[in-house]
Amino acid sequence: MFSKILIANRGEIACRVIHTARRLGIRTVAVYSDADRDALHVTLADEAVHIGPAVASESYLSKQKIIAAAQRTGAEAIHPGYGFLSENADFAEALEAAGLVFVGPSPASIRAMGLKDAAKALMERAGVPIVPGYHGDAQEPGFLAEQADGIGFPVLIKARAGGGGKGMRRVDRREDFAASLEAARREAKSAFGDDAVLIEKYLIKPRHIEIQVFGDSYGNAVHLFERDCSLQRRHQKVIEEAPAPGMTEEMRSAMGEAAVRAARAIDYRGAGTVEFIADVSDGLSPDRFFFMEMNTRLQVEHPVTEAIAGVDLVEWQLRVASGEPLPKSQDELAINGWAFEARIYAEDPSRGFLPATGTLAHLRFPEGDVRIDAGVREGDTITPHYDPLIAKLTVHAPDRQSALAKLTRGLEQTQVAGTTTNLDFLIRLSRQPDFAAGHPDTGLIDRDVEALTSARQPDDGALAVAAVAEAGGFAGATGGDPWLSLGPWQLWGEANRPVTLHYDRGQTHCRVTVKGRALFSVALGDRSIPLRLLAGDRKARRIEIDGRQSNVTVFEASNGTTLFMDGQTHHFHRHDPLDGGEEASAGGDRLIAPMPGLVKIIRVREGDVVAKGQALIVMEAMKMELTLTAMRDGIVESLNVGEGDQTSESAVLLSLRPEDAT
């Protein structure tokens, strides 16, 4: 076994590898960019080496800097995690040349599966079923359009390199193909340096089921069962589970054997995932699943496999890379219970899952039998430089129903303030009827997107608590005088204060009146809500509203108050009288940058006439392309940015004037 390893990654996966290495007595070396100098993975490692600026191409993607860091610190092996250089055959080859061990497959295996078109051809020869489509080298747009016609719409345009949903577009109509192809190629070129694509038949009701495989240097290969990753938005996974609901032993055996054949076909060593798409229009069937791709690395969702198989896949990686045989044979592996993983992101589902930034001013995870894989802690900042993952929450229980209930409860107990998150979306998704019944498919989120993502308005109870907090009642209830907390001394009558609460897409005017110590009445229009503060402190309290008790946590910051109550998060912001508001900016004459990013394409010039909804500017932020459209009909009056410019959040990119303005 190694005595010291370097982890060529950051965030959650770097922390994950460090935890296993510590348990095995292996010293760890972290690497970090300027943006990650104080990051959690840097703090947890035994040593850390600075490797460059925030931009990944000059730090986490720099092979030379990472190899130099390993040599400088005496590391024997490098664990690549996932993303960045984890599937880079040239990097694995460079490590071998430098006398370092790559904790992963051989360069030849990575290359065999690195390009999806070549991988599909190889799998077809190995007897693994593949999705109908075009996987050739010819890339002329007109030719690809002809291939799509021949396959039949809908089709999926898919970058042949990389993964994570980038360079991927579903096309339902022939007339949309050219624009979708251009966007997919542009995104693929930016993410992977390769704009070649393949065209596949898009299955109307598919499920994404993948098999975890593992091989060693002695010709042994096993599978560790399946994961269902069908719940996706923008082709990126959201909630994963293992095993797959409805899976029969016959189909599990067929998929497992196909995955092992795939691994053996490329003499695979280490952890890998063979991804299949299953046509479930008539239920799961062993003759209707198709190879999509093989990820030659550890997967983000590996904790659900660890939970049901009772293994530590990172430990297996380190043992196999150090020359040991597989710890278990196929006969020694068995499924125990059910597991779910949910990915908690800094993003806004109500705005098309737009990535978010911000400082994690308040961060609390559930206690007890819930696994949290996080690369951040309270006080850390989500920056625009990297993936906005906050944490992965994994649960395990004897059966699916129990595990799903545990997942929902764990999400409800998670508290994040300081940035927008997808927590409410995840909670709603965990309760979605088709998913709860064990019938997921890759189109489920899109079909139910409005119900899953629409901004939830606070109910009367949340408004009452927020009003008391804003009026200072929580401070008065912790030892001060609630009368003084609500205003100056008065000779007679009950102390009261008007409060206006501002929240997403609305505001509420109310009045808070002190009825006694820790007892208040909140007037909301013609309704009067009694609220009593019970045990607790200024932040976390037991409350009673109209005779019903519950727990509430209130986090107050300079820009507003975040309320965690009944498994929901509500944010109330403080109104700036100098701010013209969203209507005066993004909804009126000015196109506003929704977050920091790079201006990739400008599709208009000053003086152009544009129509509402027309694409104006394409930005890139957090590895994603965002197309910003015209907020109304008009004429481009001023263009404030150029292609290649970096822009800050809320920057005015473009201004319009009415067509009839002089």
Ramachandran bin of 261, using left for φ above 0, alpha for ψ from -120 to 50, beta for the remaining angles: alpha
Residues 582-604, mean pLDDT to the nearest whole number: 74
Is pLDDT above 90 for 606? yes
Q: Lowest mean pLDDT: which of 284-288, 307-311, 585-589?
A: 585-589
Q: Which two tokens stand for residue 98?
A: 């430098």
635 with 607: CB under 8 angstroms?
yes
Is pLDDT above 60 for 522? yes
Q: Lowest mean pLDDT: which of 138-147, 321-330, 638-647?
A: 638-647
More confident of the two residues 288 and 35: 35
pLDDT band at residue 492, thresholds of 50, 70 and 90?
low
Question: How far is the C-alpha of 238 from the C-alpha of 427, rounded, in Å?
Answer: 12
Is pLDDT above 50 for 414? yes
Alpha carbon separation from 175 to 133, 153, 200, 639 (Å, rounded): 19, 11, 17, 30
302 with 313: CB under 8 angstroms?
yes
Percent of the chain scoring above 70 in pLDDT: 94
Range list of H helices, 329-421: 400-412
Question: What residue has token string 């700036």?
Answer: 576
Is pLDDT above 70 for 107? yes
Which sign does the torsion angle of CA 544, 547, 550, 552 carry?
A: negative
pLDDT in tens, 447-483: 999 999 998 889 999 999 999 988 887 775 444 444 4
Question: How far is the C-alpha of 402 from the C-alpha of 596, rounded, in Å?
Answer: 41
388 with 355: CB under 8 angstroms?
yes
Percent of the chain scoring above 90 in pLDDT: 69
Amino acid at 176: D
Which of the residues are catalytic? 297
pLDDT score for 244 = 97
What's the number of CA atoms in the CB half-sphere (13 Å) around residue 411? 27
In the DSSP assignment, the letter for residue 130 is B
51 with 73: CB under 8 angstroms?
no
pLDDT score for 575 = 66
Q: Which two tokens stand for residue 633?
A: 């009909």
pLDDT in tens, 127-165: 888 888 898 889 999 999 999 999 999 999 999 886 667
Give the residue among 251, 356, 395, 365 at the shortest CA–CA distance from 595.
356
Residues 91-111, mean pLDDT to the nearest whole number: 97
Question: How far is the C-alpha of 353 from the C-alpha of 415, rounded, in Å?
Answer: 19
Strands 77-79 and 4-7: what pairing?
A: parallel
The rounded radius of gyration (Å) of the Cα atoms in the chain is 27
pLDDT in tens, 89-100: 999 999 999 999
More confident of the two residues 23 and 577: 23
Establish whether the linkage from the previous residue to 154 is cis, with ω within 30° of 0. yes
Q: Name the burial class of residue 236, with classes exposed (0-12), middle (13-18) and buried (19+) by CB atoms within 10 angstroms of its CB.
A: middle
SS3 95: helix
Question: How far is the C-alpha of 497 from the C-alpha of 485, rounded, in Å?
Answer: 10
4 with 74: CB under 8 angstroms?
yes
Question: How far is the C-alpha of 591 from the C-alpha of 651, rounded, in Å?
Answer: 8
pLDDT score for 483 = 40
Strands 519-524 and 527-536: what pairing?
A: antiparallel
Looking only at Cα atoms, what is the longest distance across the chain? 91
pLDDT score for 635 = 93
Global pTM value: 0.84
Phi, psi of 657 (to 5 degrees): -130, 155
pLDDT in tens, 44-59: 999 999 999 998 999 9
pLDDT in tens, 155-204: 999 998 866 678 899 999 999 999 999 999 998 887 788 899 999 988 87
307 with 339: CB under 8 angstroms?
yes
pLDDT in tens, 249-276: 999 999 999 999 999 999 999 999 999 9
How many residues appear in the chain? 662
